[in-house]
Structure 1
Amino acid sequence: MKKTLLLISLIAFGLFSCEEKSSSTTETHTSGDASSAELTSVNSSKSTSSILDAYLAVKDALVADDSETASDKSKELVAELKNYDITSAQANDPEELERLQVEAIGFAENLEGKAIATQRESFQALSSNLKDFLKIAGTDRTIYHQYCPMYKNNTGGMWLSDQETIRNPLFGSAMLACGSVEETISPN
């Protein structure tokens, strides 16, 4: 009886915390909005611009449930990551930056030609990696670390966006507005 009650409670929580609205208004289902998000200041750097542009193109394809475009755009992301010159970066920890670069390349390569569920898993891992990468390498724009608690059987997942508005690439149209801004990463 207790297990049944607990299961019903969890299902109800899941339905109400991130249910998709049928109206066309933008709505985030959050534990906090961007104003309550942690603010992180990083070095201002244009050297990561092309990486971010390629990453955001992959994100937008996943938001649109378009695995073919995500695969195509991931090839551009891999190329941009490989072309990133760590020696020209004014990073405090070049060894860690290089490790993150190698891992990011692997995650981005795993997006190519896969089923969308596999792409989304790799994208979530890539997002976590890229967040750490940007904190060392810097960025030329404000980036929002966004989080959806419902992803992967309620273990949660994160991604990066250049917009505060939630557009969830981990669920796409199934739960487009599910998530919250957890951290704002801004160049100083």
Structure 2
Amino acid sequence: MKNTLRFSISAFFALSLAFSAVPPAKAGSLVDSLLDAYLTIQSGLAADDLSTAHEAALHYISAFDSASDSINREKLQAHAEAIASASDIETARKAFASLTYQVIDLVNYMGARSDAPVYMANCPMAFGGEGGQWLQKGETLANPYFGSQMLRCGSLGKQIAGRNKATGQHPSDGNLPATAACGMQADSCQMNCCQSENE
């Protein structure tokens, strides 16, 4: 958790420097393109489809073609490049975990204009119990770290982008109640909600 927080803070400062010279309209369009590619990677990994993840990672990388020259592309593309070149799905999933923190920071810092609701989600069992976050469209959990083994493992957190169903507004804070896959509040979810769908 401490390493995640440290990574997130340093990534936030790197992103703020990287995007400080980008005009807001162009930055919003870039973030939307990156978020769309990221969500395709997420759904590909949740479906155990490495080729979809590869292709979407290449779209993520190419989204920077329209970006300002002042952006540190090498740093911002590194995790997507690792996914695009991954020889197996487990390697892609590890790189995706790092990409997730970057995309969360991008959306929090720059905002996203998409109307489709995008939620934060978390699986406490990912990576040997260290846990892993991801973003996804919709409220039905689609775990990119376990795919078909435990597709619904995890808990749904706050809405980070898109129109809020209740208010019709884009969330600025997104403090929506977190609901676990087992129907419990995320902070009280027991590990048994994260059992294999085949068990």
TM (normalized to structure 1)? 0.64
* Cα distance, 1:82–1:107 mapped onto 2, change above 3 Å: farther
Pairing 1:27-46 to 2, within 5 Å after superposition: 45-46=28-29
Question: How far apart, CA to CA, are the structure 1 residues paired with 2:106 and 2:83?
Answer: 19
Shift of 1:183: 2.2
Is 1:103 aligned to residue 86 of structure 2? no
Question: How far apart, CA to CA, are the structure 1 residues paired with 2:126 and 2:137?
Answer: 20
1:68–1:113 CA contact under 8 A, matched in 2: no
2:30–2:63 CA contact under 8 A, matched in 1: no
- 1:34-88: CA deviation from partner (whole Å, max 9, x where unpaired): xxxxxxxxx994442211111111111111111122112211111114533498x
Question: How far apart, CA to CA, are the structure 1 residues paired with 2:75 and 2:158?
Answer: 22
1:104–1:130 CA contact under 8 A, matched in 2: no
Partner SS state of residue 84, structure 2: coil
1:82–1:105 CA contact under 8 A, matched in 2: no
Look up the match of 2:136: 161
Q: Give 1:116's match in structure 2, choosing from 68, 72, 89.
A: 89
Is 1:172 aligned to residue 144 of structure 2? no
Look up the match of 2:99: 126
1:103–1:129 CA contact under 8 A, matched in 2: no
Look up the match of 1:143: 118
Q: Which amino acid aligns with 1:103?
A: K
Q: Give 2:60's match in structure 1, choosing from 74, 77, 82.
A: 77
Q: Percent identity?
A: 31
Unmatched segments (≥5 aa) in structure 2? 1-23, 162-169, 172-199
Structure 1 residue runs of 4 or more that deviate by more than 6 Å after TM superposition: none
| Residue-pair matches, total | 135
Question: How far apart, CA to CA, are the structure 2 residues paired with 1:134 and 1:84?
Answer: 16
Higher relative contact order (CA 8 A, sep 6+): 1
TM (normalized to structure 2)? 0.61
Question: How far apart, CA to CA, are the structure 2 residues paired with 1:130 and 1:81?
Answer: 14
Unmatched segments (≥5 aa) in structure 1? 1-42, 88-97
RMSD: 2.3
Shift of 1:129: 1.2
Pairing 1:21-60 to 2, within 5 Å after superposition: 45-60=28-43
Partner SS state of residue 36, structure 2: helix
Shift of 1:164: 1.6
Question: How far apart, CA to CA, are the structure 1 residues paired with 2:138 and 2:69?
Answer: 27
Is 1:67 aligned to residue 50 of structure 2? yes
Question: How far apart, CA to CA, are the structure 2 residues paired with 1:103 and 1:171?
Answer: 27
Question: How far apart, CA to CA, are the structure 1 residues paired with 2:74 and 2:157?
Answer: 26
